[in-house]
């Protein structure tokens, strides 16, 4: 957990921006920038607590499946652990084209996110070809980080205190862009990048990176 709570970080960002008028830079804006930075960090760094996986066991003739994991940020990979290969990602347009052709059942080789629930950010995955039998598909995904809030009670970052100043630098860079000060924004973006590298170097432990974050097999279709 971080050392600085959300309100303290907001105050520090506001001070670094020269305490602009609240109508120009509100606390809500700054909180949004802090959370954008938090999301960017956890989406691109392999923190074990945000790298998750679950197994979907297919049923013959059913193409779409609802994941059990909540707050899913994005899907990293889908692996057929029964016959050992990674599925390729496609989109809905591809799927509609393919599904209209002949021979649309078999072992899935492609997937796409076909829907997201309105609550909980639970994703639905559709597979092509439509499964003709039961196979185990391991879905590796990135989980959303708990957001910083100030209401009703100011909380702390879900990351360690190593990242507090990284979040602040990222929010300051966003703030200067908002204030149309690109040179100042670039200076703080550079500070953010350097601080991010140092924090990750101190935080990172190779043995803790889960296998689900990588690519274990080749795709089944070229």
Q: 76-102, pLDDT tens digit by residue?
A: 999 999 888 999 999 999 898 888 876
**pLDDT (tens digit, 9 = 90+) per residue, 190-206?**
999 999 999 999 986 55
**pLDDT of 108 above 90:** yes
Where are the domains positioned within the chain? 6-47+145-207, 51-144
Rg of the chain over all Cα atoms, to the nearest angstrom: 21
This prediction has a pTM of: 0.82
Q: What pLDDT, on the 0 to 100 scale, is given for residue 100?
A: 81
Is there a contact between 1 and 158 (Cβ–Cβ < 8 Å)? yes
Q: What six digits make up the tokens of 104? A: 């649309």
- For 149-191, the DSSP string reads --SSS--B-SS-GGGHHHHHHHHHHHHHHHTT-HHHHHHHHHH
């Amino acid at each position: 957990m971080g050392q600085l709570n959300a309100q303290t970080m907001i105050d520090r960002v506001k001070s670094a921006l020269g305490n602009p008028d609240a109508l120009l830079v509100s606390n809500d804006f700054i909180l949004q920038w802090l959370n954008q930075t938090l999301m960017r960090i956890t989406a691109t760094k392999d923190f074990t607590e945000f790298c998750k996986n679950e197994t979907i066991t297919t049923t013959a003739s059913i193409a779409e499946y609802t994941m059990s994991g909540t707050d899913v940020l994005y899907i990293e990979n889908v692996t057929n652990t029964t016959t050992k290969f990674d599925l390729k990602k496609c989109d809905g347009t591809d799927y509609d084209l393919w599904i209209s052709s002949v021979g649309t059942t078999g072992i899935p080789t492609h997937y796409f996110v076909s829907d997201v629930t309105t609550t909980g950010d639970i994703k639905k995955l559709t597979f092509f070809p439509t499964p003709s039998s039961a196979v185990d598909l391991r879905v590796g995904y990135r989980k959303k980080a708990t957001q910083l809030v100030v209401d009703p009670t100011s909380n702390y970052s879900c990351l360690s205190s190593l990242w507090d100043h990284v979040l602040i630098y990222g929010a300051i860079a966003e703030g200067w862009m908002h204030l149309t000060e690109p040179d100042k924004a670039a200076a703080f973006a550079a500070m953010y990048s350097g601080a991010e590298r140092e924090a990750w170097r101190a935080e990172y432990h190779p043995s803790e990176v889960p296998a689900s974050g990588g690519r274990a097999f080749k795709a089944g279709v070229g």
